[in-house]
Amino acid sequence: MEVSADISLPSGDAAKRERAKMRLYVLFQAGGWGAFLGLEVWSVLAFPEHDSLWSLETTIAIAVMGYSVGLLVTHCLRPLMARWGWKELGWRSLVPRLAGMALAAAAVWRGLEIVWIHGVLGLPWNTRYSLPMVVIMEVLYTAVLISGWLCLYFFYHLFERLNRSEIERFQLMSSVKEAELRALKSQVNPHFIFNSLNSLRALIDEDPARARLAVTQLANLLRYSLQSGQLETVPFEDELDVVNDYLALEQVRHEERLRLRLDIGPDVSRLPIPPMLLQTLVENAVKYGISTRSEGGEIAIIARNEGGALRIQVTNPGEVARGARGTSTGVGLHNAAERLRLIFGEAATLRLRSDHPAQVVAEAVIPIAVRT
């Protein structure tokens, strides 16, 4: 079983967002160019030029045509920028590209306009400036206009990206909090606590010394499980101490049915692990390897410092249950895996597998020193 967490929005939402973006784009294009056109028509009507060679209708028709070309030209810029991947560029490389694009688009726009007005329609030259002068001025003016358009376009995308990363940050934070809460809730199995108290009461008459020891062990376990939730990591040896207390209590209950083998490397004691990680693995091993089997079995804890990673293995007799994800083990291991990933990054793994028939191995690998 590989456990991983995935943070993404469902595809239905993505499609909805795309449609909303398209609507906004159409609105801006129509609204923006429409406003420019309206302004120009209004100025032509309000301040008519009496020495114009063009009639009023022609002037307005030319304005309508001009802004339609503008709309068309800018509309063609969008797919081009998307294809060239400009949205991912930094501003240093983006600014010269945008300036070049604004100039080129302006030249296309005004070139088309002049060729159409004077070449195709054959309207008279309606200004006292010469052709190169008109072309330079018009292109520069239009380039500024298109730059404005491009600025708006990129500002929108900038804000959208900020928003989205903010949302993702919140999602991550909430999943961390949720994992913490679940970890707190599932720290010590109540079934275990009450069974232990029951065995303890029997032990008071039978073996008072062992009963006193068991009370201390139970207290250690409860204190650790209440306090360690606030820590991000604990040294391996601290967790192992508590796991030993826990196993001693389980041995009170299961007696000779629970056998133990510890194989701990010399250089692992100070390595950091998430609190309750080893405890969760061992609790699962007891729950599925010992409690459900009349004959009991052996639980082994193996910890090694191997090539820059701490490798912890907990083995128990039994088989890997199919669909373990939905059961309580699945949930416990899933939480542990999620916590591991949030603290140590993607290099940390938690797997449940079966090397030999009738033996289950839960293995956690935690990278050393490359903490994120």
Q: Which residues bind other proteins (CB under 8 A)?
A: 190-191, 193-195, 197-199, 201-203, 205-206, 252-255, 291-294
Q: Which is nearer to other proteins, 44 or 222 (CB)?
A: 222
What is the strand order of the sheet 359-367 is part of?
258-264, 297-306, 309-317, 359-367, 349-353
Q: How far is the CB of 358 from other proteins (least distance, A)?
A: 15
Sign of CA dihedral 231, 232, 238, 240: positive
Q: Closest distance between other proteins and the C-beta of residue 292, in Å? A: 5
Residue 167 Cβ vs other proteins, minimum distance, rounded to whole Å: 36
Q: How far is CA 323 from CA 312, 316, 326, 336, 359, in A?
A: 23, 18, 6, 17, 17
Beta strands 234-235 and 272-273 are antiparallel
- Whole-angstrom Cα distance, residue 371 to residue 366? 10
CA distances from 57 to 45, 54, 278, 296 (A): 10, 8, 84, 98
The CA-atom distances, in angstroms, between 230 and each of 61, 146, 180, 181 are 73, 55, 9, 11
The smaller minimum CB distance to other proteins, of residues 249 and 342, is found at: 249
Q: How far is the CB of 172 from other proteins (least distance, A)?
A: 32
Of 138 and 250, CB closest to other proteins: 250
Nearer to other proteins, 94 or 321 (CB): 321
β-partners of residue 352 are: 362
Minimum CB–partner distance for residue 282 and other proteins (Å): 18
Q: 121: which residues sit within 8 A by CB, 6+ positions away?
A: none
Which of 183, 252 has the CB closer to other proteins?
252
Is the Cβ of residue 238 or residue 298 nearer to other proteins in the bound state? 298
Element (H, E) at 24: helix 11-46
Closest distance to other proteins from the beta carbon of 294 (Å):
5
